[in-house]
Structure 1
Amino acid sequence: MRALRVLLVIVVILGALFVIGDRVAVNYAEGMAADKIRSSQGLEKTPEVSIKGFPFLTQIVGRNLTEVDAELGGMSANADGHTLRVDRLSAQFHDVTLGSDYTSIESAASATGNAHISYADLTKAAGGQVKISYAGEKNGRSQVKISPNVPVLNTLEVTGSLTVSGNTVTLRADEIPAMCQALPRCQQSVRSQTDHKWQLTQLPGNLKLDKVVTKADGISLTASGTDVKLPS
């Protein structure tokens, strides 16, 4: 009986040591992976990386991880001399294959991403002459309220729709009011302020945008991909 108790104590101790060692290893790997993702994606700051699944050591031996989550911070997209700032970007990689160095993500069977852009940053990206704010959704389309800078029509306001395709976010005014259409060059002036396209070339793993939703605090973008490759 005493020998059994001693054996149980030994098993508990070894189990505790394994768990501690496993957590130390995963923390080290998360740090290394974060550095790799930052350098490969050209990020401004080192992302926060979380490796899911337990035990980690058995996953690392097979160079395959169940899930890797990354909070990537912000990124920027440039178009027509203006910068579109993405203030929050995250990605989730599933069924991940590690590189030969065991610290870089070679590929993932699937991945999803989420990004957030504030209306203040959307306004700056449109050139600063307009004000862009929340307008909800209509007929399944995410919409914003756009107030362009037209000196002779101080109260001009139009509704614009946001769409995504590939890595491109498109903003376009739905309709130009009749009062503007009656004025010379007014419609062209308004369109130059309301209609824009931005390419998010830094999406991790070349994910493709699949949805945009307008919310009270900004716009939310989702992206996804399969057989995702990441540069080493």
Structure 2
Amino acid sequence: MAKPSGEATATRVDRLPRRPARRRPVALLALVVLLFLLVAVVDRGGAAVAQHELAVEIRKQGFPSEPEVAIKGIPFLTQVLSRDFRDVRLEADNIIEGPVRITSLKVRARNVRVDSGFQRGVLGSVDGTAFIAFGDLAKAGGDPGLELTAGAGNRIEAKVDLGITTATATASVTKEGDAIRVRALSVEGLPLDDLDGALDFTVPVKGLPLGLAFRSLTVSSGGVSLHVTGRNVPFG
């Protein structure tokens, strides 16, 4: 006996394969990704604000302008809630300290603690490099026309104008107390006395930003790099 058409239709519909319920997991994954991106944007936005606030306060510690401040570490929000930043990088250029100009200063500060308003804080430990270009070193030594280049070891080569001729001299660069000591060692084809002190000078390095201490130096391409450190440095 033939089945009623209505029953046959219902049977065919019941037999149609059901689509897997995939939309819900996909939507959930999209929501998770969206929330992650939102948190990342808020995290980096908060870091930018905090970096600016730190730069404003740290500038008061001997910088001619606001230094570049970069707060490292993810997530940032947990650091700001604890007001303790594990790794902060500072960079600044053209810092005048006494007779010498610090061409660039790059330091890394660890365990930076701040108050709730970012008005005051302490840099737990600071380590970095203050770079003095050869041109700035020559000016500080009283002879801006002196042409200096890096030599072997902690030595420099210099073109010295002696009036009737130009001599090539070699000089040592050492740390003496809180100063850079440049002392002539030899001159090509001439007695050392002929330099008449033209390549013999001392440049004091005091009053660095953040009260940083000058620990050692190395002659590098283009200038002299000073290793500087600090501990429990207050700011604000």
Separation in 2, partners of 1:194, 1:147: 13
Mapping of residues 80-119 of structure 1, within 5 Å: 83-102=99-118, 104-108=120-124, 110-119=125-134
| C-alpha contact 2:186 2:192 (8 A) present in aligned 1 | no
| C-alpha contact 1:66 1:95 (8 A) present in aligned 2 | yes
| C-alpha contact 1:167 1:207 (8 A) present in aligned 2 | no
TM-score (norm 1): 0.77
> SS where residue 142 of structure 2 aligns?
coil
Instruction: Report the Cα offset of residue 212 of structure 1.
Output: 2.0
With over 3 angstroms needed to count, the CA separation of the structure-2 counterparts of 1:35 and 1:73, relative to structure 1, is: same
- Give 1 or 2 for the bigger CA radius of gyration: 2
Equivalent position amino acid for 1:118 in 2: A
> SS where residue 201 of structure 1 aligns?
coil
Equivalent position amino acid for 2:174 in 1: T
TM-score (norm 2): 0.75
Q: Is structure 2 residue 219 aligned with structure 1 residue 199?
A: no
Q: Paired residues, what number?
A: 214
| C-alpha contact 1:173 1:195 (8 A) present in aligned 2 | no
1:133 counterpart (148, 152, 167): 148
Separation in 2, partners of 1:129, 1:61: 50
How high is the sequence identity, in percent, across the aligned residues?
25
Q: Is structure 2 residue 228 aligned with structure 1 residue 228?
A: no
Q: Is structure 2 residue 222 aligned with structure 1 residue 217?
A: yes
Deviations 1:121-170, CA, capped at 9 Å, x for gaps: 222111127624124234xxx1123455555x745554322123564322
1:8 counterpart (29, 46, 55): 29
With over 3 angstroms needed to count, the CA separation of the structure-2 counterparts of 1:179 and 1:129, relative to structure 1, is: farther
Equivalent position amino acid for 1:201 in 2: G
Separation in 2, partners of 1:31, 1:87: 22
> SS where residue 152 of structure 2 aligns?
strand
| C-alpha contact 1:129 1:149 (8 A) present in aligned 2 | no
Q: Is structure 2 residue 174 aligned with structure 1 residue 163?
A: yes
Gaps of 5+ in 1: none
Separation in 1, partners of 2:192, 2:82: 65
